[in-house]
Amino acid sequence: MSTQIHSTAIVSGKAELADGVIVDPYAIIEDDVIIGEGTYIGPHTLIANGARIGKNCKIHNGAVVSTAPQDLSYKNERTFFELGDNSTIREFCTLNRGTTKQHFKSSVGSNCLLMAYVHVAHDCVVGNNVIIANSVQMAGHITIQDFAIIGGLTAIHQFVNIGAHTMVGGHFRVPKDIPPFIIAGGWPVSFERLNIIGLRRRGFTKEALDALNDAYRILYLSKLNVSQGVEQIKATMTVTPEIQTVLDFIAASKRGIITARRHASSGE
């Protein structure tokens, strides 16, 4: 499997391209770049210094990967952008590398899909199997955990964390952390219900779903505040691995978690 570089592409001799990499017309690949086996680099893309791209990725027309952070404190330090294996970056995404403030890198995991015009800012960490729809705009220092789905045109505030297996509706502003396993939507963005269908598709048992339903009823449908709800869960429920994930997420939250809408329910 040979590497194929179009004659109009500009590829630094210092860049490391594995076997089977395809580089389409007018792409630019800078010096400090490593690209894994079988990855496709589309036309008019820019793969800038600090890019570390995995195997079998697809980076489509006009995408810009690993450019400098949009942060006034950045002084051209050597930082990175990492992309895992089997991920797809669609047209005109802009993916910035990290800063020295936090991770020294930004990263998107394996088996992810970033649709057109997504922006991933400095020091963001996106997990595996994440889907981010068109024109989602991420500020710096955001974490999105595994299997999350983010609806199009959503703006996510800096330092926000979004939990695993969560679905966020489209065209919303996300100023607070969104716990795992739920659906969030509305204005302001709020707890809607447990992500029952998504969790069933991923093999969660009925017992796990029932326990999560009970926990989120306590957190969101009682008259308790978050701290009281956490204590109530610990006192009255068996803390399964899924419940522990929720408790750990809340304990680590610095921006606070989203609230519930008045009509919210924990089940379908």
Domains parsed from the chain with CATH numbers = 4-141 (2.160.10.10), 199-252 (1.20.1180.10)
Residue-wise pLDDT tens digits, 35-73? 999 999 999 999 999 999 999 999 999 999 999 999 999
Catalytic (active-site) positions: 122-123, 140
Q: Which residues contact 93 (CB under 8 A, 6 or more apart)?
A: 63, 64, 65, 114, 116, 117, 118, 119, 120
Give the pair of three-digit tokens for residue 180: 């795992």
Radius of gyration for the alpha carbons in the chain, expressed in angstroms and rounded: 20
Which residues, listed in sequence order, are joined to residue 150 by a DSSP beta bridge? 132, 168
Averaged over 190-201, what is the pLDDT? 97
Q: Which residues contact 166 (CB under 8 A, 6 or more apart)?
A: 145, 148, 149, 178, 179, 180, 181, 182, 183, 184, 195
The model's confidence at residue 1, banded by pLDDT at 50, 70 and 90, is: confident
The model's confidence at residue 265, banded by pLDDT at 50, 70 and 90, is: low
